Amino acid sequence: MARPIVLGVAGDSGSGKTTLTRGLIRVMGDESVTRISADDYHRYERRERRAIGITPLHPDANHLDVLTQHLTHLRRGEPVLKPRYDHRDGSLGRPEYVRPGRFLVIEGLLNFHTERLRTAHDIRVFLAPPEDLRRAWKLKRDCTRRSYTTDEVLHELDLRERDAARYIRPQRAHADIVVAFGPSATADPSHLDAEVLLRDTLPHPDLSPLLGSDRNGPTLEQRERDLVLRIPGSIEPEHAAELEEAVWARMSFANHLRVHRLGEFTAGTDLHRSDSLALVQLLVLYQLVWARATSISGHRPEREQPPAITGADSALHV
Amino acid sequence: MARPIVLGVAGDSGSGKTTLTRGLIRVMGDESVTRISADDYHRYERRERRAIGITPLHPDANHLDVLTQHLTHLRRGEPVLKPRYDHRDGSLGRPEYVRPGRFLVIEGLLNFHTERLRTAHDIRVFLAPPEDLRRAWKLKRDCTRRSYTTDEVLHELDLRERDAARYIRPQRAHADIVVAFGPSATADPSHLDAEVLLRDTLPHPDLSPLLGSDRNGPTLEQRERDLVLRIPGSIEPEHAAELEEAVWARMSFANHLRVHRLGEFTAGTDLHRSDSLALVQLLVLYQLVWARATSISGHRPEREQPPAITGADSALHV
């Protein structure tokens, strides 16, 4: 029996964790994925945190030992009785019986805080948007879906800054993939630039042929042992489609997943699509399907050769 | 590090589990004992069980797999996030972070239902009072402390009978000690007879010298590989005290525990003391302190010789 593959998506509150994973889960299929919010492992209710004077970003405000224990069980294919934190009113409730699907997607604030937690994941993604953008995202989300006032959110952000600097942001050092979405030069809010750090802790698809001459095309930079991929928000849709095609070609055994388009996100209640988000999701999906294939076969199969790509941008092989 | 010793006390609802363990916990000290009710692992709330038409005695109405998982962690000295069932209103609530003490006392309906559960215990005690007595005990308890009406309790008892016969009572076959308290010939309600089956799955103190000629004294009967000890409710207090003394002498390294008297119990809101209860508790305590001593030393030490007992009932050495 192949064991479940564990994807961890860590980052500060409002950094876009759910936006990244929602598209992935949609593609992999609800029935295949068990999605867990590590916020469920909060030790205190919202009112208790206020009384104690602790932020949810502090390790002591979370049952990280229990999270580690549960991830270990789920990764072995065993069920757990998962606690539940309700973001609508900040309360802890009756726990929930969870059986792991083929994939586990764990979003959280402190997923990579300890070595034991880090090794409980197969794929570690850290989201590191610029602080200005994250504050704007968090404000919009918390006021529309978590019944906070704008004053409360801004006050919370200030209170949390110390713990964010101390406990959240240092986790970026332990991720296989670090993603920073940022505002692009274009006026369209759905055109976000993406800077993606691909660490050599995982075998990423060979992106070197991407280094095209197109002014609006993606760029790739070697930074010591890692690679930095920059996808401009202004990328031509045709370029983006070809890039996607090339990554899909590297995992043709997973082509049955190509039912839904990646890249969707909401701003408030408006639905948008972003090519850079789609590409980032695809690079994570690539890791998931390869980890799964490795888990099934018992060894990492040879990476498939990309098929020939025809057309104007044939330089953009992945 | 010595690992925690796990005592399981199983039996039907109202069979006297808490009465047996309360005195033990008092003697061992709250700080040394983690008491867990396996009822916390109920899968459904009371209203849900009614809607589904399932009794809490049915294995499917309990997260027995999670209970097994948690016992395994606690036995290794690891904490768990334990679910919580509130008997006052039959609701499931926010879970509770539990660190194991030196001793774990698990009371429950189905502790010995599976082989994995059985082996998660060091000492297995099953309570098997006559059904008439158990019904009377349950009625009194549920009406005074669990906000049921008498009609509801009697109705529940009928509904549960099938599952009790199918799932609860068969567990007696898997216990190291089976205790049946029953009404004695005396009029005093605090004078309960006790019949104690001591299986050879644990090394019990040598009780053969107990076989005295006293008409009101305890008797011992060999039944295949097991022993049956009968303690009459009418036992003379002096006999009982000597018996207790003899068992304590067999665990003199634990004499610091002799702060509180064993044998207390409540009937409604009245406090009573029973010599037969005290002796049963002491036989269980004997197992606990020896298991602990074995766990600390890494091997089972030689049983200490009983000291000479003087006085009229010197035949009653243990």
Which tens digit of pLDDT belongs to each residue from B160-169? 999 999 999 9
- pLDDT surpassing 60 at residue B313: no
**Band of the pLDDT at B68, cuts 50, 70, 90?**
very high
pLDDT, residue B267, reads: 76
Position A299 scores a pLDDT of: 63
Identify all chain B residues contacting A79, using CB atoms and an 8 Å cutoff: 65-66
Contact A97 B69 (CB under 8 A): no
Q: What pLDDT was estimated at residue A236?
A: 86
Average pLDDT over residues A267-294: 90
Distance from CA of A63 to the nearest CA of B (A): 8
Rounded to whole angstroms, how far apart are CA atoms B207 and B131?
A: 28
pLDDT at A1: 64
CB A23 within 8 A of CB A281: yes
**What pLDDT shows up at residue B241?**
87
Interface pTM, i.e. ipTM: 0.84
Nearest CA in chain B to A93: B94
pLDDT at B160: 92
Burial class (CB in 10 A: 0-12, 13-18, 19+), B136: middle
Q: Does A146 touch chain B (CB under 8 A)?
A: no
Q: Choose among A260, A250, A261: nearest CA to A301.
A: A250
What are the tokens at A315?
């330089």
- From the list B66, B91, B97, the residue facing A81 with the nearest CB is B66
Per-residue model confidence (pLDDT) at position B308: 32
Give the nearest partner residue to B94 out of A69, A81, A92, using CB atoms: A92
Nearest CA in chain A to B82: A81
Q: How many degrees, rounded to 5, is the angle at CA B242 between CA B240 and CA B248?
A: 105
Residue with tokens 């409710």: B233
Residue matched to tokens 């850079």: A276
A139 vs B259: which has the higher pLDDT: A139
pLDDT of residue B299: 63
Write down the pLDDT at residue A122.
Answer: 96
Q: What pLDDT score does A289 carry?
A: 92
Q: What is the pLDDT of residue A142?
A: 86
Q: Over chain B, what is the mean pLDDT?
A: 87
Q: A129 near A181, Cβ under 8 Å?
A: yes
If we measure between CA atoms, which residue out of A267, A266, A217 comes closest to residue A242?
A217
Q: How far is CA B236 from CA A122, A227, B39, B56, B194, in A?
A: 68, 86, 37, 40, 14
* pLDDT tens-digit map of A55-88: 999 999 999 999 999 999 999 999 999 999 999 9
Position A47 pLDDT exceeds 60: yes
Could you tell me if B313 and B216 are in contact, meaning their C-beta atoms sit under 8 angstroms apart?
no
* B254's tokens: 């634990």
pLDDT digit string, tens, across residues B251-298: 888 888 887 789 988 877 788 889 999 999 999 999 999 999 888 877
pLDDT tens digit string along B170-189? 999 999 999 999 888 776 76
H or E segment and range at residue B37: strand B33-37
Q: Phi/psi of residue B214, each to 5°? A: -65, 130
A201-221 average pLDDT score: 79
Q: How far is B121 from chain A (nearest CA, A)?
A: 21
Mean pLDDT of chain A: 87
| pLDDT score recorded for residue A184 | 80
> Which has the closest alpha carbon to B27: B310, B298, B273, B278?
B278
Query: Out of A65, A79, A93, whose CB is closest to B94?
Result: A93
A248 token code pair: 């899909």
Which residue, among A1, A41, A29, has the nearest Cα to A103 in the 3D structure?
A29
Extract the tokens encoding A240.
């983006």
- Nearest CA distance, B53 vs chain A (angstrom): 20
Q: Is B98's pLDDT higher than 80?
A: yes
Average pLDDT over residues A232-258: 86
Judged against a pLDDT cut of 70, whether residue A315 lies above it is answered with: no
| Beta-strand pair A80-86/A91-98 | antiparallel
With residue B195 as reference, give the H or E element that holds it. strand B192-198
CB contact A43 to B (< 8 Å): yes
Torsion angle defined by CA atoms of residues B308, B309, B315 and B318, in that order, rounded to the nearest 10 degrees = -80
Name the A residues in 56-115 with CB < 8 Å from any B CB. 63, 65-66, 69, 73, 78-81, 83, 91-95, 97
pLDDT digits (tens, 9 = 90+) for A166-183: 999 999 999 999 999 988
Over 60: is that where the pLDDT of A316 sits? no
Band (B213; pLDDT cuts 50, 70, 90): low
B4 residue type, one letter: P
User: Inter-chain contact B80–A93, Cβ cutoff 8 Å?
Assistant: no
Kindly determine whether residue B66 and residue A43, on different chains, have CB atoms separated by under 8 Å. no
pLDDT at residue B210, as a whole number:
65
**Lowest-pLDDT choice from A110-114, B104-108, B225-229:** B225-229
Query: Distance between CA B96 and CA B85 in Å, rounded?
Result: 11
Q: Which domains does chain B have, with CATH numbers?
A: 5-294 (3.40.50.300)
Residues of chain A found within 8 Å of residue B66, distances taken between Cβ atoms: 79-81, 97
d(CA A169, CA A109): 10
| Contact: B79, A66; criterion CB under 8 Å | yes
Helix B17-28, helix B275-297: angle, nearest 10 = 50
Please enumerate in sequence order all residues whose Cβ is within 8 A of that of A33, keeping only pairs 6 or more positions apart, or say none: A24, A25, A101, A102, A103, A104, A105
CB contact under 8 Å between A69 and B80, yes or no, is: yes
